[in-house]
Structures are given as structure tokens and as C-alpha cells.
Amino acid sequence: MSESASNTSQRKSEHIRLCLTNEVSFRQKTNGFENYEFIHSAITEVDLNKISFQKKLFGKKINYPFLISCMTGGTSEAENINSMLTEVAEEVKIPIGVGSQRQALENAYFHNSYKIIRSKAKSVPVLGNIGAAQLVHLNVKEIQKLVDMLDADAFVVHLNPLQELLQPEGEPYFVGLLNKLESLCKKISVPVIAKEVGAGIEKISAKRLLDTGIKGIDVAGAGGTSWAGVELIRKNEIENPFWDWGLPTAYCIRTVSELKKNYDFILIGSGGINSASEMAKAFALGADLTASARIVLQKLLNEGPEHVRIMIESWFKHLKGVMFLTNSQKLSDLKKNKILKKELLT
């Protein structure tokens, strides 16, 4: 294994270890969902038995609009993690994303840590993944190889300027990114999704991204895992003011959803969604899909895959209750003025 590949794999292992702790949470900033309250409907006529979350995503049927977010790959422990996560995704019938495939371009040593996802995900959407800092140096043929490796249904480009800025091995160079994205969208065989990793995507950036031809935006706002915190811990610089940098998830979902008037895209709400209530509020604010990562990883490795399944299904049971109490027969109904800021309740 080359030195660069070894360094990449070691870094991924460190990321997994740190994300199993709560040390990497935002310290003061929240995801913003606590500022909202659902509008109770005392005259609900919703039939609970007729609520269904089934839909098609990238041509495949899913039971719940919930994504096991892009987490890992390219390291020894990643194969087992991805194997267990994919078993859950296939059983529950939800999409799953793979962690950055950067290491897969460096050598074939850990290719199976990625490939195992498609080998077990027989019927659900699988999302490939590369970082924007890598994309600016790659051509479409190299990206297509990553798609083919997974037989991916969509491909995620993760935008992590804050992480690259602070990472000891970081590559904070994104010049030409929008042109690269536009070229990728035109030539690659699957839809492209742009995703932040914890600092959020706001409306202006989202519009510029959508103009390149991408088909999805994962806002991945602040309030969950601080990837600035991850990298600052790695270099023992824990008092850095960038730890809490970013835009709250609730703000990002609410403002980016306004672009639905003029653009056709999938809006994924993620960033510190760690409860059924937060997930429900993400949908009410405009998300088409929600996603979580660290809480899923922690539950998987601390309690086992069955508890991940139980958690996801319990969240959607709660969501049915929210829909009943807000007179929302469909998720699309939940987006129609069923939530408001708490200060308006006084």
C-alpha cells in the first residue's frame, strides 16, 4: 500500500473513532429545530392506516424517505460497518450512501469496503461519493469508474471547505469547482447530488449549484457533528473559534426549499437530526428526504444493526402521529404551513 493510501486509510480510521464519541458535537450552535413548533389541528381527519411513506428514488422503491448518510469506506473496519449498515438499508428498504471513495482511486486495497454495499443492497438506491477538493483534479472518466465500482444510482460530491481548511492533510483548493460540476452533470451516467458535511448550504449557494445541473442538495447544516471539531481534535487545537462555524440545519432547509418554485431537485435535510421530532420538523420545513450519520453509526456499533432498524421505524411511527395531529394525510401536506416559529405563539 502506498504512503498516500495508507495515510488516507489511517485518517478514515481516526474519523470513525472520533465519531463514536460525543466530543465532536457542536458546542454552542444547534440545528435550529428547537425554534419551531407544529400547529396542532383539533379537527384532524387523517386516516392513520392510509399514511404511506413509500416512494421512488432514482428509479427504485423505498419504504421510507430516509438516507443512511455517507459515512465510511477505504479502511479495514469500514467493510464490516458498511456490511451491517447495508443489511439494515436492504431490510428497511431505504437508500444508503458510501463514504468518500478517494482511497479507491489511490489503490484497490480496500475496494471491497465499498463494493460490499452493492453486493448486499440488492434493491435500494446506493450513492457514491467524492470530495469537491478531489473533484477539481479529476476527470469524468475517473468519477465514472467510482460509479461503476458501486453500480451506484446517484453520485454525491461533498463540499467541505471548512474541513479541508482545518485538516492537517487538507487540500483547501476549490478553484473551478462549479465548472467541474457542470461537466460532471452533463457526462456522468447518474444524477449528481451536492452535499455539505456540517456547515450547511444556503439559498444563494444552492442556486449556483442547481445551475450546474445537479439533481439533489443535501444541506447538512450545523448542529450535529462538527467536522471542524474532528480535525481540530486530531491536531490538538480544541480552542479554535471555527469549531462552531456553520449555518443551522433548519435555516438551510427552510431557505433552500424556496428554490423548489423554479428548480426540480431532491432536497435532503441532514445535520444533527438525532430524534424523531427533529426529523419531522425537517420534513415540515421542506425536506424531501432526511438523513443521519453519527447517531446511526453509534447505535450500530454500540447496540447492533437491529437497534438501528428499530430506531428508524420508531421515528417514522412518530412522524405518522405528527401527521395525524397536524391534519396531514401525505408528507406533502405536512409542508403546507403546519409549522411555525415559537415566538409567533405568544
Q: Write out the binding residues.
A: 11-12, 69, 100-102, 129, 163-164, 195, 225, 293-294
The conformation of residue 100, written as its DSSP 8-state character, comes to: P
Give me the phi and psi of 111, to 5 degrees please: -55, -35
Which residue in 175, 166, 95, 167 sits closest to 135, CA to CA? 175
Q: 105 vs 101, 153, 184, 235, 271, CA distance in Å?
A: 7, 19, 17, 26, 28
The conformation of residue 93, written as its DSSP 8-state character, comes to: T
Annotated binding site for FMN, which residues? Answer: 69, 100, 129, 195, 225, 293-294
Q: Which positions ≥6 away from 22 have C-beta within 8 Å?
A: none
User: What's the CA gap between 344 and 37, in Å, rounded?
Assistant: 10
Annotated binding site for substrate, which residues? Answer: 11-12, 100-102, 163
Annotated binding site for Mg(2+), which residues? Answer: 164
Query: CB atoms < 10 A from the CB of 28, how many?
Result: 6
